[in-house]
Copies of this chain bind each other. A is one copy, B any other.
Amino acid sequence: MSAPKSKIIPSRSAKRAHFDPESIYPILDEALFCTISYSVDNQPFSIPTSFVRHENKIYIHGSVGSHFIREIEKGIPVCITVMLVDALVVAKSAFSHSVNYRSVVIFAQAEVIDDIDLKTASFEWLTNKIVPGSWGYLRPVKGNEVKKTTALAFALDEASAKMRSGMPIDEEEDQDLPIWSGLIPLKTSRLEPISDSSSENILLPEHLL
């Protein structure tokens, strides 16, 4: 994975930047959503959307008629960010508070996926990411559904990960203050599935147990 152009790395926290797939892929594989930004006449727009990584690209899907999709499928530059927050970092001073996070920034241009097999595969990858093991259980996808959807890929050639972990770092003169400092871990969980009215008599499939 090549390093991003220097102009596109916000410089302040460059020490936290990583460019290797071993840092980047696990973050992309854990996060369900990214935010895609693009710009028209220097007016930025950004949209949260679900995505899936496969090999050295990420894939998103959208309606053929969506304004957002129609703009970015032109191949204009986009910036894609992914952010996982692991803990609030509570210091003895407000100024030293921080966040333990893992984030990825990608600079890329959309590549429209026309190949039907690859397009269908990208639906499968995304569906199995959102609900692992579910693709083969669902009603099979239909040709017109594939047609009504645009699939876009973005190469990860200009991607970087940043992360912070560990305890707060207070100013030296604050370290003996009798003020509690430490971490408040954050965790996102999937709760028990809730059946809709059509499924009350249908057993939960194994992949949802």
Contact = CB atoms under 8 A, between A and B. Distances in A.
Interface stretch (A20-28, A52-60, A174-182): A174-182
Nearest to A173: B139
Interface residues of A, number: 94
A199 B180 contact: yes
A190 interface: yes
A101 B35 CA distance: 14
Given A46-B81, A66-B12, A138-B94, A202 B187 contact: no
Interface string A139-163: 1011001000100000000000000
A131 B88 contact: yes
A44 B33 contact: no
Q: How many identical subunits does the complex contain? A: 2
A131 to B, nearest CB: 6
Contacts of A176: 198
A199 B185 contact: no
A71 B36 CA distance: 19
A118 interface: no
Given A42-B39, A145-B93, A180-B204, A81 B48 contact: yes
Contacts of A184: 131, 190-191, 193-194, 208
B188 A186 contact: yes
Chain A contact surface mostly: mixed
List the 3 closest pairs (A to B, CB-CB), nearest first. Answer: A39-B39, A37-B37, A48-B83
Given A10-B67, A202-B180, A90 B193 contact: yes
Contacts of A95: 123, 141-142, 145, 149
A184 B167 CA distance: 33
A183 B189 contact: no
A205 to B, nearest CB: 6
